[in-house]
Amino acid sequence: MADAAEGPRRRLAVLAGQLGPASAIRSDQTTAAASTLGAQPCAAREAAGGPGPLLAGQVALITGAGKGIGEAAAKLLASHGAAVVVADLDDTAAQLVADAVQEAGGRAVAVAGDVTDPAFAERAVGEALRVFGGLHILVNNAGYTWDGVIHKMTPEQWSAMLAVHCTAPFRLIQAAAPAMRDAAKAEVEQEGAARPRSIINISSTSGTHGNAGQANYATAKAGVVGLTKAVAKEWGPLNVRCNAIAFGLIDTRLTRPKEGGESIVVGGKAVALGIPSADSYWSAIKGQIPLRRVGSAEEAAGAILALASPLCSYVTGQVLEVNGGSYM
């Protein structure tokens, strides 16, 4: 049996960012910098008698983590002890987020690439294993909207939404099977139980309730729900939980004014992001939201942390709507 002090020493090492081949972060940086992530440093919380890190010793892969909800989630999960693989189409954005996590005393590596590329999933999961030695949390967050009314929607618009919101998460889950499902099975055989693992797929209230002008997006996001429940049933016996989050109106590039000029390149074509005259839309829709406001990326990230954490250890196969009370 290991030395009784080994557990505490290992935990302190995790807090100091000293575990894993990519960690060369001094422990005295943690207290000084972690406040930039909007959270009290884990070690300081423990010293004050508060809760310790929720995700110590775990490795998380988050797609679409260069901006918006994904960025907020990467920083939040890192502040709770997870080593984070920051995956994004924009290599510069991904690296900036990884740098911010490291400067705050956390561990992170950036992986640039298109989630719809058939080779991306294996490469991203492989990087998690190469740098951090495992994978315990997968957040399928990458996505965008390409709206159009049904009678004018092009085959390209339809296929693009299915590719990024359904096929890409499926490939990532499949690529993660050796590190999550197979590793858990080995733990059960060797130790009698598997350590917790969690997959979180990002859906939308458009997928759970439908939305005019988004037949492609709504269909794809509804597919995310079916994929989530299938994985939960197949991998649940191995202590791999799988849940979905259906976000309502969250302040991101997808919901800000389209006139702002944000876009994403799909097949060599720039697709404008956002909502036309979003300011007017926000004003109208906020009155229908019980909390009377738009959600922030940080609030959205909080839901991701909750589902990934031990606080939701008996929650799987569920769709959590994070929408300020809409659709009650």
Active site residues per annotation: 217
Q: Is 177 left (phi over 0), alpha (psi -120 to 50) or beta?
A: alpha
CA distance 165 to 142: 8
DSSP 148: B
Which residues are CB-neighbours of 24 under 8 A, at least 6 positions away? Answer: none
DSSP string for 149-192:
-GGG--HHHHHHHHIIIIIHHHHHHHHHTIIIIIHHHHHHHHHS
Half-sphere CA count of 150, side-chain side, radius 13 A: 6
Query: Which phi and psi angles does 218 have, rounded to 5°?
Result: -65, -40
